[in-house]
Amino acid sequence: MEKQLSPDEKLEALWQGVLEKKDPQGNPLQFQSPEAEKAYKERVQRFRDAIEMKKLPDRVPVTVFPSMFPWTSAGMTVEEAMYNYDKCAEVFQKFVLEFEPDVHWGAYAPGPGKFFEILDYKLYSWPGHGVAPEHSYQCNEGEYMKPEEYDDLIQDPTGYFIHLYLPRVFGALGGFQMLPFFPGILEMYGLALSFIPFGLPPVQSTFQALFEAGAEALKWVGPIGGTDGVLATLGFPNILGGFTKAPFDVIGDTLRGTKGIMLDLYRRPDKLLKAMEVLTPLMIKMGIGSAQSTGNPLIFIPLHKGADGFLSDEQFKKFYWPTLKEVILGLIEGGCVPLPALEGFWNTRLEVVQDVPKGKTLWMVDQSDMVQAKKTLGQNACLLGNVPSSLLNLGTPQDVRDYVKNLIETVGKDGGLIVCNGAFFDDAKPENVKAMVDAAKEFGVYA
Amino acid sequence: MSNELVNAIADMREEDALRIVREMVESGSDPMTILDAAREAMAVVGQRYEEGTYFLPELMLAGEMLGQITEIVKPALAKAPEVTRYGKVVIGTVQGDIHDIGKNIVTFMLDVNGFDVLDLGVDVPPQKFVEAIRDFQPQVVGLSGFLTLAFDAMKETVDAIKEAGLRDGVKIMIGGGQVTEEVKTYTGADAYGRDAMAGVSLAKQWVGAK
């Protein structure tokens, strides 16, 4: 019988996999120089030490976690970055080599434009499809799940996604509505009846679109995924394993929409709670699954509708936090390092979310008060942030330098800090971004 | 009855509120009395939001209740109700940005605080703000934006208002996402507000309301 690995052993295996990185053929990665190999391992270790809070890293790690900045700053439009995969990859490599962050997060942000076209994706508008060429894609908020559909989602989330949700957000997947009820495929008698939909034109054209979309995704992931390999040989690790979401945001962002979920708190609170309970293990599975397939431990969790001002304390504690906490603990159990991002202000939530096991998570902080964050959440978790977008955009390199210096002095003294931008950004002065990285390296050395 | 209605709405008892409204309509109450009660309740909701006891769920449910009540009462209504207003505000999310939650909250809060608000929606080009200022003659203009691209779009909007010769006639406030004091200076706006309450107090201050 195979031995069950403990959570710590699973995590250790992932970190070891990052350190002893393999090339796509499964052979040990050939670094471009012994210096690159040394830098790679030091950078991974620096991040890991900061996250685990057991011993001080050699210095405060620093990273840049941008949205479209690598491409816009290179004079490329977002549209080009989404449609020219080779150039997208090439520009990203230059960005990492120029700014030299300790870790990077891959060139995945733009995504393959053609792929979204094939699927007729409706959830987002992107350049050429509702957004100007130079702007980033943006979500089209809406009520993609109707209030009376909670029971369908609760009974069979996967079936709900296939039959109802996906055809609504992908124009090309209308044929999914006609697919058979899969758990009904059981015995020989009558079996062929279940397969009739696959013979019908709408289903066949949906599958045709899926084949094309899959082929396009492969075409894209070659250069984009290859970038991670090239950058690793040059000494720059990417330790991002994938992403997942807080169950409240799953429903509030892209199923019921902000208004829908806020009304559900009053009109159908029990259904909402039940649906989140059903989604929780799926969100854990999603994170662990992508960490296993990429071999990287960090699982990003963008947090939206729990921010200050959205819910009362009581509502936050009842509706938002319990299932998010379960997702965080489930990911840790699966050997991952959850990376929740506190987008916007979360000052009133810090005392609640500090209830996580020490040294097992990393939290991206945007505009919350960092001193307060350090006193609460920061006692148990490493904080990543929080150089403001407005400063990177409109300030001077000296302003940024001062900000980073102050950040390190006030909250980075005893470790548990990684310097980074606080929010995802498309636009900034490159010299300010450079100043952020350089300042962390200059002021962040631990004696 | 109308006191009961105020309390039902203000306390988020949607079913009770709608039942009371139907009963009042059936028993021949003046529709204006019903709408006055609804408006009074909205002011209570706005106040509780300002005090930090109500949040988005309550604002959105209050808005829903008001919409439903207006629908029920409408057939019995002879003319549009007249309301005393402090002043007028034109609001919108600037060009290139399609986020609207923050803007909608500010609009709601301005409305319940006695402002006549013209909401231009999202992805609003500078020229559309200029035209709206000409036609609607607001004292206050609100520019909303979530993304960093909004910094430039806000600046372009303020510039367009300036070029049209309308800048001196309006006060401009900005808000949303990553907006800070620095962004305010960059865009040439008069002030920025971190949340909806800040927007309301700026607008009140500018039109000289208490």
**Mean pLDDT within B75-95:** 83
Give the pLDDT of residue B79: 67
The ipTM (two decimal places) reads: 0.91
Cβ under 8 Å to A: B residues 183-202:
183, 185-186, 195
How does strand A138-139 pair with strand A124-127? antiparallel
* pLDDT score for A2: 64
Alpha helices (runs of H) in A62-144, residue ranges in sequence order: 69-72, 78-83, 85-99, 113-119
Burial class (CB in 10 A: 0-12, 13-18, 19+), B108: buried
Flag if A259 and B60 touch (Cβ within 8 Å): yes
**pLDDT band at B98; cut points 50, 70, 90:** confident
As beta bridge partners, residue A129 has: A126
Distance in Å, alpha carbon of A289 to nearest chain B alpha carbon: 31
Q: Cβ contacts (< 8 Å) between B192 and chain A: which residues?
A: none
Alpha helices in chain B (DSSP H): 2-10, 14-26, 31-51, 56-73, 101-112, 126-136, 149-163, 181-187, 196-207
Angle at B47 between CA B45 and CA B53, to 5 degrees: 75
Give the mean pLDDT per block of 10 residues along chain A (447 residues).
86 96 90 97 98 97 97 97 98 98 98 98 96 93 96 97 97 97 91 96 98 98 96 98 98 96 98 98 98 96 96 98 98 98 96 98 97 98 96 96 98 96 95 98 94
**Using an 8 Å Cβ cutoff, are A384 and A418 in contact?**
yes
Choose the closest CB to B186 out of A125, A310, A394: A394
A139-192: pLDDT as tens digits: 999 999 999 999 999 999 999 999 999 999 999 999 999 999 999 899 999 899
- Between CA B37 and CA A406 the distance in angstroms is 53
Share the mean pLDDT of chain B. Answer: 92
From A32-46, A91-105, B110-124, B130-144, the region with the lowest mean pLDDT: B110-124
**pLDDT for A139:** 93
Sign of the CA dihedral running A352, A353, A354, A355 = positive
Classify residue A192 as exposed, middle or buried by CB count within 10 Å of its CB (0-12, 13-18, 19+): exposed
Angle at B87 between CA B83 and CA B91, to 5 degrees: 110
Q: Show the domains of chain B with their CATH numbers.
A: 2-76 (1.10.1240.10), 87-207 (3.40.50.280)
The reported pLDDT for the residue numbered A1 is 54
In this prediction, residue B114 carries a pLDDT of 87
Q: CA nearest B196: which of B120, B113, B88, B73? A: B113
Fold of A7-110+230-443: TIM Barrel (3.20.20)
Q: Which residues of chain A make contact with B149, given a CB cutoff of 8 A?
A: 135-136, 426-427
**pLDDT at residue B81 is higher than 70:** no
Angstrom distances, CA of residue A443 to CA of A403, A405, A406, A436, B157: 11, 6, 9, 11, 40
How do the domains of chain A map onto residue ranges? 7-110+230-443
Cβ(A93)–Cβ(A227) below 8 Å: yes
- What pLDDT does A199 receive? 97
Q: What are the start-end ranges of the E strands in A74-215?
A: 124-127, 130-131, 138-139
Task: Quickly state the pLDDT bin for B80 (edges 50, 70, 90).
Answer: low
What does the pLDDT read at residue B147? Answer: 85
Q: Is residue B84's pLDDT more than 80? A: no
* Whole-angstrom distance, CA of residue B7 vs CA of residue A437: 56
Residue that has been written with the tokens 């039942």 in this structure? B19
Q: Which residues of chain A does B125 touch, with a Cβ-Cβ cutoff of 8 Å?
A: none
Tell me which residue in B14, B54, B149 faces A135 most closely, judged by beta carbons. Answer: B149
Of A266, A388, A426, Cβ closest to residue B12:
A266
CA contacts within 13 A on the Cβ side of B121: 5
| CB within 8 Å: A267 and B14 | yes
Q: How confident is the model at residue B21 (pLDDT cuts 50, 70, 90)?
A: very high
Q: Are B184 and B161 in contact (CB under 8 A)?
A: no
Interface of B with A in 63-82 (CB under 8 A): 64
The whole-number pLDDT of residue B210 equals: 60
Instruction: Evaluate if residue B82 carries a pLDDT over 70.
Output: no
pLDDT, tens digit (0-9, with 9 covering 90-100), for A310-361? 999 999 999 999 999 999 999 999 999 999 999 999 999 999 999 999 999 9
